[in-house]
Amino acid sequence: MAAHRLSPSLNRLLFTLKNGSFHSRCCAVQSTASYSSSSSSEKTFDKILIANRGEIACRVIKTCRKMGIKSVAVHSDVDSSAVHVKMADEAFCVGPAPTSKSYLNMDAIMDAVRSTGAQAVHPGYGFLSENKEFARRLAAEGVTFIGPDTHAIQAMGDKIESKLIAKAAQVNTIPGFDGVVETAEDAVKIAQEIGYPVMIKASAGGGGKGMRIAWNDEETREGFRFSSQEAASSFGDDRLLIEKYIDNPRHIEIQVLADKHGNALWLNERECSIQRRNQKVVEEAPSTFLDPETRRAMGEQAVQLAMAVDYSSAGTVEFLVDSKKNFYFLEMNTRLQVEHPITECITGLDLVEQMIRVAKGYQLLHKQEDIPINGWAIESRVYAEDPYKSFGLPSIGRLSQYQEPVNLSNVRVDSGIQEGSDISIYYDPMISKLVTYGSTRAEALARMEDALDNYVIRGVTHNIPLLREIITHPRFISGDISTNFLPEVYPDGFKGHQLDVEKRRELLASAAALYITAQLRSQEVLGSLRVSSVPVKCSKWELCAELGDGCYTVDVTKSANVFTVEVDGGKVEVSGEWNLAATLLPVTINGTDRTLQCLSRDASGRIVLQFLGTSFQVRILSKLAARLNAFMPEKVAEDTSSILRSPMPGTVVAVSVKPGDTVAEGQEICVIEAMKMQNSLTAAKQAKVKSVHCRPGETVGEGDLLVELE
Amino acid sequence: MMAAFAVTRGTSGLLHGLRASFRGFAQVKRGNVAAAAAVAPTSRRRDCRWYCVSNLSVRERIDTKRRAALVGGGQSRIDAQHKRGKLTARERVELLLDPDSFVESDMFVEHRCSDFGMEQDRNKFPGDSVVTGRGRINGRLVYVFSQDFTVFGGSLSGAHAQKICKIMDQAMTVGAPVIGLNDSGGARIQEGVESLAGYADIFLRNVMASGVVPQISLIMGPCAGGAVYSPALTDFTFMVKDTSYLFITGPDVVKSVTNEDVTQEELGGAKTHTSVSGVAHHAFEDDVEALLNVREFFNFLPLSNQDAAPVRESHDPSDRLVPALDTIVPFESTKAYDMLDIIHATVDERDFFEIMPNYAKNIVVGFARMNGRTVGIVGNQPKVASGCLDINSSVKGARFVRFCDAFNIPIITFVDVPGFLPGTAQEYGGIIRHGAKLLYAFAEATVPKITVITRKAYGGAYDVMSSKHLRGDVNYAWPTAEVAVMGAKGAVQIIFRGKDNQAEAEAEYVEKFANPFPAAVRGFVDDIIEPSSTRKRICRDLEVLASKTQKNPWKKHANIPL
């Protein structure tokens, strides 16, 4: 299917290669992130300061290195040994952990610019990337801001103004209220005028923060309150606006690139419909949904908008696309986007390099017809979060083991952490962006599956189970997606991979093989012994495996490294190296190669295996142990309906109850802010409050007791 | 030998049918000191000693006795035991040992009491209230006794004690560990002083075996009164949550003497002893978990003090670098980190069997392997009370170090210690005496000793924690190490008392002392190493130190400050 798309673009590729404008596309997807370079003789800057942290700082530094530019990292005190700090040529501490005191601290960053003599600043995304004041201050000191002019930042940064400009530039827009909403009651009135559902969002916002959907008056009031708080804490600007909420839309965005000479290009689209709580999870380029005409129409409107504000640098115009391929302008992000790598993969351009060139005042090297769609790229955002709690609540911890699947071909991992790094409550919990690339979508998807299976992340809860389920879901594979994909596919919340009979057999067989390997190894005592050892000679085992509520008889025979397992009415043959220390467990199950991960193994037979992305706990017992285990009492679990524990680490923002209060089921008890998101915790039943164990402003860990009910 | 064939058959199912026919059972009340009421009369037939009829051959009598021994106190009591979530003595032995490896002894032993009607046939049980013998765990020899709660509540008769003593003596002769599975109501009161003598016989053997063969107690039911001292004398005491209790006197006596209201669980349950009293070293969820974990634990131990620490096949490369360790110690010296992270990352396969994980958590002790060889790990835990040494942590550490030394297990010590905990509670409690135990233990140990100073090594605590001065074989410092008499602030306040520019002085002190150099230039640490190379170096050093010989001067025994 994708082949016909590929051939014209290959022609373009050849054309451009002839002109020597960029290297082979493959470069862009190497793990070491060697991007195509344009013209090495161009002089740009000697030193660039990157006013950001994490993966995007590392990403920018890589291009700086390639272009022979010295890089300066800024960091908070807790980030002093972070990867971006180590990668940069110089580093400058800009304050304590909270972002408002470090990465958002303009005075400190200006100090860093002055004292390191950086000629330009790349802001990455988030933080100060769309802050016009920052751009203005840099300009005032003669330092180049690698991004658009303040005028464009201001015009596009304000959602209300941007919509007016878009309308004037003949870009399709969503019906809504073109003004600032002052109070909750205002919000309700406006919402009623537009008609439900409505979207309440921060005027200054982006990235899903400070955004709520309301279906009725009460939700509008609540949404107004949350959004304004979040907006205030995230952007220091609590202005909100309201617009019609388009149900079941796709989120497709166009990458634009413009120079300071009136040239602008659209670099095709990115499909970003897979979202949870308005934050993107899986992105791909191109979109399965767009036909060339729609793509061109969207691209041209995006360029019109860019021209209308004299845009320069890389930017993204976001559209909502309904099922009839009508598209509406949503907003323009005047910065490098998180998901820019997939565009780089299919176009072969290094966007950071282009941004730097444009900032220096060079003209664009390409014409619109030079921009190809080569193959297909998928990006999974790997987060430190628990996907079993509303598709992802932040988790924190130390990456005790961490291994990126960069040994696989056509896999690119953009990350800013390494083994031993801490994922803290202060910053975005993103671990990395995992990008795979293929000549077809199917190829890219197959690689993504493989890459996710080979990704080792220990010490923090991560969302790989969810990512792997998404990219293997029939609806996703067929391209039938919308921004409601997750709630529609998992109406009762995400529960991990659901094993069918065959997969269950495979899992149980692998666990049994691992168990026997460990048992046999226990007998391998080396050296000369005073009292000789009498190992149990055995080549056949009768075992029981417990998985969930099920209990299965497992009969195993072993010859060399091959285990033949009879379980649950079927026969499975598993072979592998069975290294008990390795993080990855490559096995062949009935002829199919799979990569499992053994997450833990204990003396009482419990083996936790990551299988098909999801981790499953299997308990393997000998037949005897299983028989005796039947006599063991069930340990009564804690009654959780009367206690409220923090579902994630964060800060207590508000406690709405005090001991003695009676709360109704579903009533808000307290609000926890984590990673800049406010989460309302509610009572699971109607009860009297027995005790309150938290205070506003306090930092709490996951599972900490907050409130007890009677 | 003779007993072996009978035991390997299934226990209960086979014998159901026999139960009713051959005798009636005395009603034994369960509970603490159960034996008192053991001979309550029943209405069942008394003339049931049918198997003694002369026309039965000896062979048949042997078979019958064996069958009787296998069901202990009978099916109804076995059911009762199961209902309490407990396994029977024989089931426990079967699960603990390798399949078909149990060789039972003294299956025919019966108690010798003739008072209070105990001499009647219905009160005689072949094997009495304990199952004893030897077997194998992962192929390695072990002696085992398992008290049978279904016979007179597992109470200890003279015969019962004699059986235990016999296998302990055998274990000493061949040099193999003893594992005791305790589930006993206490003394057999009908036997009076004979029972007490039995306890003392066991205590004596526990003491004689101490430091010769490893001794493990697994408490799987009540263990009260004098009986508690046998586990207390052994090297490791493990408990089963919710079903095991250890106390000198039960809640009733406590109530009458001190007027305290306390439950069995609060007084002597697994939680109490693993987190408050420090009597037990670990607690497990249930019988099955406990036994499987003891199997795993047993793998770490040598069979006796004549054997080297066991070396097992390892899949983890000994030269593996651990980059995660390079960033583990925070820049701020006041900030905590988890010493367990360092331990897990360093040892083979992240496999660490922690001893007393819930008691005196400011020190971490336990067993792991380095390149397959068992090592004992001791580490200060900065996460709890800054990792300071106090009374409990000193005693916990000292006992562990002495076990390792007694059984040739190399000791690896990770140091991040700000000093001994100050305060009246500690001084009145005798921190001087108890802290000395840890010092003593490290000093007298002659096994290979490798020490890694990860951060703070302040004051006397630096000396104590397996320092070079106490015959440490290899002492490393990480670049983050600070070996000093005390932290900068305190030191400056003393050196520059009353002077201005304290901040400047503090900076000077930090520059001078808050780093590994003062110790390194004097040779008190052998090298300053990259944290990521720690595993590789330790594995290499242990290879060399395997042939270490060091002897303490001859003495009858040392006098550790108890």
Average pLDDT over residues A183-200: 85
What burial class does residue A463 get, using C-beta atoms within 10 Å of its C-beta: 0-12 exposed, 13-18 middle, 19+ buried?
A: buried
Q: List own/partner pairs for A230-236 with CB under 8 A and 24 or more apart.
A: A230/A202, A230/A676, A230/A677, A230/A678, A231/A202, A231/A203, A231/A204, A231/A205, A233/A673, A233/A676, A234/A202, A234/A205, A234/A209, A234/A210, A234/A676, A235/A202, A235/A204, A235/A205, A235/A209, A235/A210, A236/A204
**CB-based burial label for A14 (10 Å; 0-12, 13-18, 19+):** exposed
Residues of A in contact with B307 (CB under 8 A): 529-531
Average pLDDT over residues B474-498: 85
Interface check B12 vs A, CB under 8 A: no
Cβ neighbours of residue B38 closer than 8 Å, sequence gap 6 or more:
B26, B28, B29, B118, B123, B152, B153, B155, B190
Residue A425 has pLDDT above 90, yes or no: no
Looking at residue B305, its amino acid is N
Angle at A398 between CA A396 and CA A399, to 5 degrees: 110
CA distances from A484 to A185, A272, A294, A494, B409 (A): 28, 12, 22, 14, 60
Does residue A525 belong to the interface with chain B, where contact is any CB pair within 8 Å?
yes
Distance CA(A108)–CA(A102), nearest Å, equals 7
Q: Where are the alpha helices (DSSP H) in A236-313?
A: 292-308
Q: Residue B179's beta-bridge partner residues?
A: B144, B216
Summarised one tens digit per residue, pLDDT across range B141-173 is: 999 999 999 999 999 999 999 999 999 999 999
pLDDT at residue B7 greater than cutoff 60: no
Q: Is A524 on the interface with B (CB under 8 A)?
A: yes
Token digits for A107? 């005075």
pLDDT-above-70 percentage for chain B: 90
Q: What is the mean pLDDT of chain A?
A: 87
B439: part of which helix (H) or strand (E)?
helix B431-444
Lowest-confidence pick of A232-246, B290-304, B332-346: A232-246
In tens, the pLDDT along A480-503 reads 999 889 999 999 999 999 999 999
Chain B CA closest to residue A626: B288
Quick: pLDDT tens for A57-79: 999 999 999 999 999 999 998 89
Please give the average per-residue pLDDT across A552-577, as a whole number.
94
Query: DSSP state, A100?
Result: G
Residue A2 pLDDT: 39
Helical H segments across A340-489, by residue range: 340-347, 351-360, 441-453, 464-472, 474-477, 485-489
Residues of chain A positioned with their CB less than 8 A from the CB of B313: 521, 524, 526
Answer yes or no: do A523 and B349 touch at CB < 8 A: no
Strands B282-284, B245-247: pairing is unpaired
Q: Residue B34's pLDDT is what?
A: 41
Q: Do B293 and A625 touch (CB under 8 A)?
A: no
Candidates B206, B373, B210; CA nearest to B305 is B210
Q: Quick check: B141 contacting A, CB < 8 Å?
A: yes
* pLDDT attached to residue B531: 97
With a CB-CB cutoff of 8 Å, which residues 184-213 of chain A face chain B? none
Q: Which residues of A touch B349 (CB under 8 A)?
A: 580-581
Interface list for A 51-90 with B (CB within 8 A) = 77, 80-81
| A130-156 tens-digit pLDDT | 898 999 999 999 999 999 999 899 888
Would you say residue B134 has pLDDT above 90? yes
pLDDT confidence of residue A636: 74
Joined tokens for residue B454: 């990860």
Chain B residues whose beta carbon lies within 8 Å of the beta carbon of residue A80: 331
Contact A526 B311 (CB under 8 A): yes
Cα A224 to Cα A240: distance, rounded to the nearest angstrom = 8
Residue with tokens 């000791």: B411
Higher pLDDT, B95 or B498: B95
Residue A535 touches partner B, C-beta closer than 8 Å: yes
- pLDDT surpasses 80 at A13: no
A 250-289 → B contacts, CB under 8 A: none
Handedness of CA B454, B459, B461, B463 (dihedral sign): positive
CB contact under 8 A, A631 and B82: yes
Helix (H, G, I), strand (E, B) or coil at B383: coil
| Cβ contact, residue pair B139, A625, below 8 Å | no
| Burial of residue A216, with CB atoms counted within 10 A of its CB: 0-12 exposed, 13-18 middle, 19 or more buried | middle
More confident residue, B286 or A644: B286
Compute the distance between CA of residue A60 and CA of residue A70 in angstroms, rounded to an integer: 11
Digit-coded pLDDT (tens) for A325-361: 889 998 999 999 999 999 999 999 999 999 999 999 9
Res. B317: pLDDT tops 70: yes
Residue of A nearest to B291 (CA): A604
From chain B residues 376-415, the ones with a CB under 8 A of any chain A CB are none
Active site residues of B: 225-226, 460-461
Partner A contacted by B260 (CB < 8 A): no
pLDDT above 50: residue B129:
yes
pLDDT of residue B308: 94
Let me know how long chain B is: 562
Please tell me the predicted confidence (pLDDT) of residue B53: 53
- pLDDT of amino acid B54: 57
- Tell me what pLDDT residue B24 has: 36
Among A589, A591, A536, which residue's Cα sits nearest to residue A565?
A: A589
Query: Per the structure block, which two tokens stand in for B11?
Result: 């226990």
Length of chain A: 710
The minimum CA-CA distance between A563 and chain B, rounded to whole Å, is: 19
| pLDDT of A22 higher than 60 | no
Which of A401, A535, A624 is facing B95, going by the closest CB pair? Answer: A624
Helix A159-168 to helix A150-157 angle (10° resolution) is 100
Nearest to A534 among B136, B304, B313 (CB): B136
Residue B284 has pLDDT above 70, yes or no: yes
Mean pLDDT over B37-49 rounds to 47
In 3-state terms chain B splits into helix, strand, coil percentages (rounded to 5) of: 45, 15, 40
Task: Nearest chain B residue to A517 by CA: give it.
Answer: B315
* Amino acid, res. B269: G
CA–CA–CA angle B414, B417, B418 (5° rounding): 165
Query: Does the pLDDT value for residue A34 go beyond 70?
Result: no
Q: In chain A, pLDDT over 70 holds for what percent of residues?
A: 92
Q: Do B315 and A522 touch (CB under 8 A)?
A: no
Highest mean pLDDT among A187-201, A693-707, B8-22, B345-359: B345-359
What pLDDT band is residue A689 in, cutting at 50, 70 and 90? confident
| Whether residue A240 has pLDDT greater than 90 | no
User: Which candidate in A460, A526, A632 is best for mutational testing of the B interface (most B CBs within 10 A)?
Assistant: A632
CA distance A652 to chain B (A): 22
Query: What is the three-class DSSP state of A518?
Result: helix
The alpha-carbon gap from A691 to the nearest alpha carbon of chain B, in Å, equals 24
State the nearest Cα–Cα gap between A624 and chain B, in angstroms.
Answer: 7
Could you give the maximum distance between any two Cα atoms of chain B, in Å?
A: 105
**Are B288 and A632 in contact (CB < 8 Å)?**
yes
| B13-34: pLDDT as tens digits | 333 333 333 333 444 434 444 4
Name the amino acid, one letter, at A568.
D
Distance from CA of B138 to the nearest CA of A (A): 5
Mutation pick from B79, B327, B353 vs chain A, by most beta carbons of A within 10 Å, is: B327
Burial A70-88 (b: 16+ CB within 10 A, else e): bbbbbbbebbebbbbbebb
Q: Which parts of B183-275 are beta strand (E)? A: 215-219, 222-224, 236-240, 245-247
Question: Which of the residues of A are catalytic?
Answer: 335
| d(CA B295, nearest CA chain A) in Å | 8
According to the model, what pLDDT value does residue A4 have?
43
In terms of Cα–Cα distance, which of A372, A298, A344 is closest to A15?
A372
B297 contacts on A by Cβ (under 8 Å): 603
Residue A205 pLDDT more than 80? no
pLDDT band at B9 (very low <50, low <70, confident <90, very high): very low
Contacts of A621 in chain B (CB under 8 A): 288
Helix (H, G, I), strand (E, B) or coil at A688: strand
Compute the distance between CA of residue A214 and CA of residue A161 in angstroms, rounded to an integer: 23
- Choice between B516 and A645, residue whose per-residue pLDDT is larger: B516
Task: Give the nearest chain B residue to A532 (CA atoms).
Answer: B140
The pLDDT of residue A16 is above 60: no
**Residue A615's beta-bridge partner residues?**
A610
On the question of pLDDT at B313 being above 50, the answer is yes
Reading phi first (left if > 0) and then psi (alpha if -120 to 50, else beta), residue B525 is in beta
Size of interface A-B (CB pairs under 8 A): 130
Between positions 28 and 87 of B, the ones with CB within 8 A of A are 82, 85-87
